[in-house]
Structure 1
């Protein structure tokens, strides 16, 4: 799969992407609010191998690499949320040096428009994140998602309990 905007290319993973993703997944700042620490080379190869197999919602989810000027700057994903009928969950991670340029908003908006809401059965979209991750919360709000949940000390991240916040949007919210 390949999607294009004026500035970005969103494409399926390739087996050769491990080094490009390792560039930012090895950065402790990027991984600060993820539920894993920085990757090493083996983890990068394993994760890319897994994500190469998820190229459509029929495969259980869509994982796409985001490129700007042919350089991998991030990745986005959508998958069916466990136990929630007609609901997709979104995820995104971007390199620290790609922040502040609107790339994440553009990429996730494209994922929503061209993949997620292109499926007529999709009723609802959610995104959950570490409650300290104000940048991801701001992105969810820019996309038109509303904050619906705040779970206190419900997940462990790097040996500490953290809060989780949940954002959501209904299909009908897109036309408002």
Structure 2
């Protein structure tokens, strides 16, 4: 199944759109920060590394085969301010599963932007992409991230304790998921 959505995806306060070369400074403003990189696989990125990442992301706008990803810039509808990014990865064609991810600038935390943007990707995943299950994962210490998963109606399915080394320390990770039927019932509740 090929899926190339029409962009931008719009919510009440946000626009989710493909990245452009003009986003380098906006992405560097959050991806260059230690506090943002703390729970990411990458260290803080340099401006040049952000430019390379954006170059890759400009083509990550649809699904053609397993492993493809949609990675979108999240900007405020009111003023076009880049506040973060969201992603949906097609993890299994046969099992119709995807993985949801997000990174937001700390200056914009606490405003509901992450909830609003990730709900738009759940809509895409369970709607046009016809996924059966979408999961997300985070470092167990990243409380804002797992609280977001709970706000989305996801349930904690796993807690992996000291399952791998992450930045020189033993990593603990939470996995959360939601099924299409569960998501539909939450929307109609």
Structure 2 partner of 1:160: 169
Question: How far apart are residue 84 of structure 1 and its match?
Answer: 7.0
Q: What aligned pairs does 1:1-176 form with structure 2 within 5 A after superposition? A: 1-58=7-64, 60-68=68-76, 69-81=79-91, 85-113=95-123, 115-119=124-128, 121-176=130-185
TM score, norm. by length of structure 2: 0.87
Structure 1 residues 84 and 136: alpha-carbon distance in aligned structure 2, compared to 1, 3 A threshold: farther
Q: Which runs of 5+ in 1 are unaligned?
A: none
Number of residue pairs matched?
175
Structure 2 SS opposite 1:122: coil
Structure 2 SS opposite 1:81: strand
Deviations 1:89-138 (A, max 9, x none): 0000000000000000001001111x211236311001011111110100
Question: How far apart are residue 5 of structure 1 and its match?
Answer: 1.5
Q: Which runs of 5+ in 2 are unaligned?
A: 1-6
Question: How far apart are residue 163 of structure 1 and its match?
Answer: 0.5
TM score, norm. by length of structure 1: 0.94
Note the aligned Cα RMSD (angstroms). 1.5
